[in-house]
Amino acid sequence: MRIITLKAENIKKLKAVEITPEGNVVIISGRNEQGKTSVLDCIWLALAGADASKGMPKPIRTGEKKANTTLDLGDLVVTRTWTDNDKSYLKVDNKDGATFKSPQKMLDALVGRLSFDPLAFAQQEDKVQAKTLQEFTGIDPAPLDAKRKTIFDQRTIVNREVTQLKGQLDGMTAPGENVPAEELSASEVLAELRSAQDAKNANDEKRRELQGLARQAEQYRTEIEGMTEHIKKLEEKRNSINLLLDGINRKGKTLRAEVTALKDPDLDSFQSKLDGVEETNKDVRNAKAYKEAKAKYEDKKAESEKLTADIGKVDAEKEAMLKAAKFPIEGLGFDETGVTFKDIPFKQCSSAERLRVSLAMAMALNPKLRVIRIADGSLLDSSNMKLIEEMAKEQDFQVWVEIVDESGKLGVYIEDGEVKEVLEGVAV
């Protein structure tokens, strides 16, 4: 559906115009302040109604009391009228003459957001462009972007802790293989030392006892030898002493066997052990601190790796979603910063690429009413105009382009609110 005829009277700077466009590109030319923009605004005012009027609070030409515009779209005829009491009236008839009861609702279904100036898309802010493209494709990566950001921020914190723990671990000395698992108790070592000392003292006491018995036996033998001459007299005494000696011998034999079997504890080793308690405990503490630091480091490192994997999953999910989306032109997409074309930020693309994308967006968003308006067409060079012609012909669209021109030799020439001349295949 496209414009067959445009009629307008007293719209903004227009007095009365009637244009029957031909071809895919309709050039509206003329000097400034002659009504070129008003011609294109007539299309927008007729179709968009209140949305268009927000930017044009006074559509009626100064000095007039009534204005109207009519668009013959082939299957539909749209007529909108304004009166000086700020009232507007809309009428939409089909080709059979039937009138629609909810005309604006029907027109809203025809009009795309960018259908009346695709260059507006190129001039939008990054976020607005991305939102427009998301609405077109029907996908919204915002939840995935938010999820990714949450995981990314969490991983940043974890990685900071990993770095700190790694630095702490690098500043420590790894424990030796012989470091005990737990710290030693100095009191326990002292108790062992005292117990060993008591055992040594008991052994020494037995040695002294043995030595005393030996001296006593020697004394008795001396007495026996000295009493040989008095043996008879001293028989009873000798027998008694012999008995004593026998008892001593028996006891001495037993005690000698015990003394021979005695083994003194190594007191020096206990002293060495006691002297090394603090050093050993220091090694134990260092070993425990090292193991704890290493465990924390490994845990945080594992957590960071998991978060990295989660980010990869989110990225893969988003990539799959974007691959499944149907974009109006190959190479178009968007990321967290905005719209991209061939993986390059849209604002960094060439003017031709931006124009191509904007036209493709406008055409895709307006499949029923195949009409596009381009204001400020004077900003387009010959290459861009050629591109517009090619895309309009290829997609069978009608593109209305406003151009400042004083030659009167280009398109529909507007002067003082009226059509002065029609050139290049555009007829009135």
Same domain, 89 and 200: no
| 128 within some domain | no
Q: Please say which residue of 298, 313, 330 terminates a domain.
A: 298
What mean pLDDT is predicted for residues 65-84?
89
Its sign, for the CA torsion 8, 14, 20, 25, is negative
- Least confident residue range of 102-111, 117-126, 354-363: 117-126
Domain edge (last residue) among 280, 298, 316: 298
Residues in contact with 421: Cβ distance below 8 Å, sequence separation at least 6, in sequence order: 408, 412, 413
pLDDT for the residue numbered 423: 65
Q: Are strands 338-341 and 371-374 parallel, antiparallel or unpaired?
A: unpaired
Residue 208 belongs to a domain: yes
Answer yes or no: are the C-beta atoms of 37 and 402 closer than 8 Å.
yes
Same domain, 273 and 157: yes
- Identify whether residues 248 and 386 lie together within a single domain: no
Q: How far apart are CA 352 and CA 391, in angstroms?
A: 12
Tokens of 65: 């009391």
Last residue within a domain, chosen from 281, 298, 315? 298
Rounded to the nearest 10 degrees, how much is the dihedral formed by the CA atoms of 335, 337, 343, 344?
Answer: 170
Per residue in 258-298, pLDDT (tens digit) is 888 888 888 777 777 777 788 888 888 888 988 988 999 89
Mean per-residue pLDDT over the chain, rounded? 83
Structural domain containing residue 94: 5-111+366-422
Provide the token pair at 273: 């052990």
Whether residue 390 is found in the same domain as residue 278: no
352 domain residue, yes or no? no
Tokens found for residue 388:
């517009």
Asked whether the beta carbons of 267 and 197 are under 8 A apart, the reply is: yes
pLDDT band of 132, cuts 50, 70, 90: confident
Identify the residue whose tokens are 């030796």: 176
In a domain, 132, yes or no: no
Residue 317 covered by a domain? no
Q: In this predicted model, what pLDDT tens digit does every residue of 297-316 receive, in sequence order?
A: 899 899 999 999 988 888 88
Which candidate, 24, 2, 11, places its Cα nearest to that of 110? 2
Task: Check which CATH number belongs to the domain holding 96 and give it.
Answer: 3.40.50.300
Same domain, 220 and 271: yes
Tell me which residue of 158, 144, 143, 142 sits closest to 312, measured CA to CA: 144
Domain count within the chain = 2
Whether residue 72 lies inside any domain: the answer is: yes
pLDDT-derived band at 425 (thresholds 50, 70, 90) equals very low
- Pairing mode of beta strands 338-341, 344-345: antiparallel
Residues 162 and 99 in one domain: no
Backbone CA torsion sign across 217, 220, 226, 230 = negative
3-state SS record for 141-202: CHHHHHHHHHHHHHHHHHHHHHHHHHHHHHCCCCCCCCCCCCCCCHHHHHHHHHHHHHHHHH
The tens digit of pLDDT for each residue in 137-146 reads: 777 777 888 8
Lowest mean pLDDT among 33-47, 351-365, 387-401: 351-365
Whether 126 is covered by a domain: the verdict is no
Tokens of residue 6, six digits: 């445009």
**Residue 22 above 70 pLDDT?**
yes
Tell me which of 275 and 423 has the higher pLDDT: 275
| CB neighbour burial string for 42-74, b if at least 16 within 10 angstroms, e if fewer | bbbbbbbbeebbeeeeebbbeeeeebbbbbbbe
Q: Please check whether residues 96 and 155 belong to one and the same domain.
A: no
Domain co-membership, 69 together with 9: yes
For residue 24 the two structure tokens come to 């895919």
The values of phi and psi at residue 327, to 5°, are -95, 155
∠ Cα 102 65 371 (to 5°): 45
Q: How confident is the model at residue 129 (pLDDT cuts 50, 70, 90)?
A: confident
Closest residue by Cα to residue 313 from 144, 134, 143, 138: 144
The reply to whether 81 falls in a domain is yes
Please tell me whether residues 228 and 288 are part of one structural domain.
Answer: yes
Task: Tell me the mean pLDDT in the region 16-20.
Answer: 92
- Whether residue 260 contacts residue 210, with contact meaning beta carbons closer than 8 Å, is answered with no
19 CB contacts (<8 Å, ≥6 apart)?
5, 6, 7, 26, 39, 412, 419, 422, 426, 428
Residues 293 and 379 in one domain: no
Question: Does residue 179 sit in the same domain as residue 86?
Answer: no
What is the band of 112 on the pLDDT scale with cuts at 50, 70, 90?
Answer: low
Q: Does residue 47 contact residue 106 with C-beta atoms inside 8 Å?
A: no
Residue 333 to residues 122, 130, 357, 409: CA-CA distances in angstroms?
14, 9, 11, 41
Bridge partners, residue 9, by sequence = 16, 68
Whole-number pLDDT of residue 234: 66
Both 293 and 168 in one domain: the answer is yes
- Quote the pLDDT of residue 17: 92
Radius of gyration (Cα) for the chain, nearest Å?
54
Instruction: Supply the pLDDT for residue 426.
Output: 40
Predicted confidence band of residue 341 (pLDDT cuts 50, 70, 90) = confident
